[in-house]
Amino acid sequence: MDAAGRNSVLIVDDERLSIIALTEILCPEYTVYSAKNGINGIKAAEKHLPDVILLDIIMPGMDGYDVITALKKSEITRDIPVIFITSLSDVDYEEKALSLGASDYMVKPFSSTIVKLRVQNQVKIRNQMRLLFEKNLGETSSRVKIEFLSRVSREMLTPLQAIMSKTRIAKMSEASGGIKEHIDEIDVASRHLLSLINDLFAVSGDEKNAFTILP
């Protein structure tokens, strides 16, 4: 997607008229980028991270096969679906394209409706994969947070129980007025902290480890 949240398409083709025609077909719905050779196409893919790449085969310098090979080797661009749009109609060319990781293959001259539908299909798959990834990431993040809260709460509970136990014994002793006030303050603070820890146990679903506050 682009900065505005629109799905985007990159066209890599050395034929100016082909780029213009494809842009006119896709521009109303997608943000369209273009490159006239393989090297610039790879740079554009790394910069814009389009949702789909439309790639010609016969180009000067790097041909389409070289380009898709480079794209699939890069961690940045390997998951971007590539649709070949070429004048090469022989089945051997199509088999090679698909074996290199292409998601689809179309032969020129192309139908505007078919181009729209095939791009739409790849974008839909891309969006579904993105949503699934974000969902899994969110669930993993939540689980890690809950486990962290539960572990920290258990580790805090042991020393706090010791403090509260000693405070309870101290309150039963014949302490002077000033010291008794300090003991009472420790007791109140400890109870407050224990209440917070019990809240953390509740949030993490670990209520069995909660500690009862004695009167």
Q: Where are the chain's structural domains? A: 8-110, 138-209
CATH of 138-209, one of 3.40.50, 3.30.1490, 1.10.287, 3.30.450: 1.10.287
Please give the model's pTM, rounded to 2 decimal places: 0.62
Tens digits of per-residue pLDDT, 131-186? 776 666 666 666 666 676 667 667 777 787 778 777 777 777 776 767 878 777 88
Q: How far apart are CA 169 and CA 214, in angstroms?
A: 13
Peptide bond into 109 cis (omega under 30): yes
From 110, 4, 102, 17, select the one nearest 52 (Cα to Cα). 102
- pLDDT band per the 50, 70, 90 thresholds, residue 35: very high
pLDDT value at residue 56: 97
CA distances, 93 to each of 19, 26, 82, 118, 170 (Å)? 21, 25, 15, 19, 87
- pLDDT band per the 50, 70, 90 thresholds, residue 96: very high
Q: How far apart are CA 54 and CA 25, in angstroms?
A: 13
What would the mean pLDDT of 28-50 be, rounded to a whole number?
94
pLDDT value at residue 173: 75
Query: DSSP 3-state assignment of 203?
Result: helix
Same fold yes or no, 8-110 and 138-209 = no
What would the mean pLDDT of 4-22 be, rounded to a whole number?
92
What are the tokens at 102? 């292409």
Question: What's the one-letter identity of residue 158?
Answer: T
Residue 213 pLDDT > 90: no
What would the mean pLDDT of 119-129 be, rounded to a whole number?
83
13-22, 63-72, 139-148 — which is least confidently predicted?
139-148
DSSP assignment of 116-155 equals HHHHHHHHHHHHHHHHHHHHHHHHHHHHHHHHHHHHHHHH
pLDDT value at residue 94: 95
pLDDT value at residue 160: 76
Residue 129 pLDDT > 50: yes
pLDDT value at residue 214: 47
Residue 212 pLDDT > 70: no
Give Cβ neighbours of residue 153 (< 8 Å, ≥ 6 apart): 197, 200, 201, 204, 206, 209
pLDDT value at residue 172: 76
Question: What's the one-letter identity of residue 19?
Answer: I
CA distances, 18 to each of 7, 9, 103, 108 (Å)? 21, 14, 20, 9
- pLDDT band per the 50, 70, 90 thresholds, residue 201: low
What are the tokens at 111? 């139908």
What is the fold of 8-110?
Answer: Rossmann fold (3.40.50)
Q: What is the mean pLDDT of the chain?
A: 83
Q: How far apart are CA 78 and CA 140, in angstroms?
A: 24
Name which residue leads in pLDDT, 44 or 186: 44
